[in-house]
Structure 1
Amino acid sequence: MRLRALLAVLLLSLLAGCATAPTQINNSCAIFAQRDGWINNWRRAAERAEREFGISVPILMATIYTESSFRPYARPPRTKLLGFIPWKRQSSAYGYSQALDGTWSEYQRSTGRFGARRTNFADAIHFIGWYHNKSSRVNGIARNDAYNLYLAYYAGQAGYARGAHRNNPTVQRAAKRATTISQRYAQQMAAGCR
């Protein structure tokens, strides 16, 4: 009985660590240090996505930083009915990747990963690698172009092709932020995460 209780406490503490955002998100090494468990190893998941899709870990991580600040249950704010009653959300974006319902379903069908969840870091970073890789193929964006990959991520590949981002300073600022963060993460990783 005592062993069972100890195992339950251990399992709950492991799961609690999976369901919260890291506290230090401005340093890629610190993020990986906070999430280097044997069950939930973010660095290994990011490196697998990099190998599979050819998108660098810093770009993948900067996309998550910009989209959700590493919060697993992030959602857009609700609109207000009559100015004060919480109403519908602006979009179906959800999880680390802020993937929309339809895009997530397309990803699941395309990859066969039907059990993938937007609140699971490994699934979310795999999704981002898949999406950036698709943007590279569809829109001709270089795999190391954090700025344009983010624009296509936000606007969608068709929206990017139409130039939907050109007159949207908010999206352009977000893409600049993603680029700056990816450069910072790359420098930190080059200096050597232990």
Structure 2
Amino acid sequence: MKIKVLIILTICGALSSCATYKPSNVNDLCNVLSEASWYESALDSQKKWGTPIHVQLAIMHQESKFNRTIRPDMEWFLGIIPTGRPSNAYGYAQALEGTWETYIRSTKNWNAKRDEFDDAIDFIGWYTYQSHKKLGISKWDAKAQYLAYHEGWGGYKRKTYDKKAWLIKVSDKVKRRSLEYARQYKGCRAQLDDNIRGWF
């Protein structure tokens, strides 16, 4: 009986650690994907949607720094009266409720949650695939993909980003992050693949 309880506690502990895992260095792709289940989910999204891992993770880094429960900052009137948040974005991908619901209907991923990494990375893969399909944006173009991600497909078509110099700077940062992540991935891909095989 004691052995059974110990096994159950061990399994629960392992699952809990996976659920609450947060990278210690969000600027290092190898560290971000050191949790085997995260790497497997990233590979699945890349295979399913065709957007490279480094592009997807560069977008997620910009949106949440891999914080599963992050929301836009509360806005205040006169510095003391809360007036609400600027949007209902939430989770790893900072997906809006409406866009998330569209993703769920499109993919039939009915149990998807915005604060689960595997669902969030799949959402980013899906969104970038749609941006490629609707707007002709290369899945490897982190800058343009991020602009479409931030402004929405309609906003990207209207080039709303042209009037937002700050957003252009952010998209350039996402591009640089993507290139750095790609470089890092080359150096640790073999080890990450070994981790997956060991995990099973």
TM-score (normalizing by structure 2): 0.88
- Counterpart CA distance in 2 for 1:148 and 1:88 is 30
Do the aligned partners of 1:20 and 1:71 also contact (CA within 8 Å) in 2? no
TM-score (normalizing by structure 1): 0.91
- Counterpart CA distance in 2 for 1:56 and 1:45 is 12
2:133 aligned with 1:142: no
- SS of aligned partner of 2:93: coil
- Counterpart CA distance in 2 for 1:76 and 1:146 is 22
| Matched residue, 2:164 | 168
| Matched residue, 1:8 | 9
| Matched residue, 2:87 | 91
Where does structure 1 lack aligned partners over 5 or more consecutive residues?
none
Regions of 4+ moved over 2 Å = 1-10
Q: Higher mean Cα deviation, 125-134 or 74-83?
A: 74-83
**CA offset at residue 132 of structure 1?**
0.4
**CA offset at residue 167 of structure 1?**
1.2
The answer to which structure has the higher helix fraction is 2
Instruction: Letter of the 1:140 partner, please give it.
Output: G
The Cα offsets for residues 133-167 of structure 1, whole Å up to 9 and x where unpaired, read as 10111111111111000000000000000011111
- Counterpart CA distance in 2 for 1:146 and 1:69 is 16
- Counterpart CA distance in 2 for 1:171 and 1:115 is 32
| Correspondence for 1:55 among 47, 51, 55 | 51
| Matched residue, 1:21 | 22
- SS of aligned partner of 2:33: helix
Q: Supply the RMSD in Å over aligned alpha carbons.
A: 1.6
Q: Percent sequence identity over matched residues?
A: 33
| Matched residue, 1:190 | 186
| Correspondence for 1:130 among 109, 126, 130 | 126
Instruction: Letter of the 1:112 partner, please give it.
Output: K
**CA offset at residue 70 of structure 1?**
0.3
Q: How is 1:108-123 mapped onto 2 (pairs within 5 angstroms)? A: 108-123=104-119
Instruction: Letter of the 2:64 partner, please give it.
Output: S
The Cα offsets for residues 84-104 of structure 1, whole Å up to 9 and x where unpaired, read as 133311101000000000000
Do the aligned partners of 1:20 and 1:72 also contact (CA within 8 Å) in 2? no
- Counterpart CA distance in 2 for 1:27 and 1:79 is 32
